[in-house]
């Protein structure tokens, strides 16, 4: 189903989110039980934002070209969708780890910003010869 998954970019976005989440929220009150295992919040944040990056790449490849013929508009839509999905994913992960609801705007910004930083770093610094969304 997924074609040419970019694990490097996903790991970069997830790593940025995990590190920033740890710096902003610390251990967030404990671990998150997933499938019978206690998983630390930074690892859950990493997984959620990395997964959101993979999903956004697939949306960019499969759905957005059907909406817009203009490549620039398609790229802006991709950034907006990617930021929103990553923001929601990080908010859900942090909420599950015990971060209070009052910090949801900050946790949404963490995910959205991590996605944008990961994309920018990947396409501008690591692989500048590839097609970049912005």
pLDDT, one tens digit per residue, over 23-33 is: 887 765 567 77
Number of compact structural domains in the chain: 1
Whether 117 maps to a domain, the answer reads: yes
Q: Tell me if 14 sits within 8 A of 53, measured CB to CB.
A: yes
- Global pTM value: 0.81
- What are the structure tokens assigned to 96, written together? 């599950």
Whether 120 maps to a domain, the answer reads: yes
The predicted-structure confidence for 88-107, as pLDDT tens digits, reads as follows 998 888 888 777 888 889 88
Whether 25 maps to a domain, the answer reads: yes
Handedness of CA 74, 80, 82, 88 (dihedral sign): negative
The predicted-structure confidence for 45-73, as pLDDT tens digits, reads as follows 899 999 999 998 888 888 877 887 787 78
Residue 134 pLDDT greater than 50, yes or no: no
Whether 49 maps to a domain, the answer reads: yes
Q: State the Cα–Cα distance between residues 81 and 77, nearest whole angstrom.
A: 6
Which residue segment(s) compose the domain that 34 sits in? Answer: 7-126
Whether 132 maps to a domain, the answer reads: no
- What are the structure tokens assigned to 41, written together? 């919040």
Whether 2 maps to a domain, the answer reads: no
Whether 112 maps to a domain, the answer reads: yes
Whether 21 maps to a domain, the answer reads: yes
């Amino acid at each position: 189903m997924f074609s040419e998954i970019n694990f490097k970019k996903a790991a970069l976005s997830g790593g940025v989110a995990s590190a920033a989440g740890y710096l902003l929220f610390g251990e967030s009150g404990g671990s998150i039980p997933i499938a019978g295992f206690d998983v630390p919040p930074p690892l859950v944040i990493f997984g959620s934002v990395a997964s959101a990056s993979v999903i956004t790449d697939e949306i960019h490849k499969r759905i957005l070209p059907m909406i817009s013929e203009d490549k620039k508009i398609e790229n802006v839509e991709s950034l907006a969708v990617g930021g929103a999905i990553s923001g929601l994913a990080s908010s859900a992960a942090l909420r599950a780890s015990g971060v209070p609801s009052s910090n949801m705007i900050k946790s949404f910004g963490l995910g959205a910003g991590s996605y944008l930083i990961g994309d920018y770093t990947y396409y501008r610094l690591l692989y500048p010869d590839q097609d970049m969304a912005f």
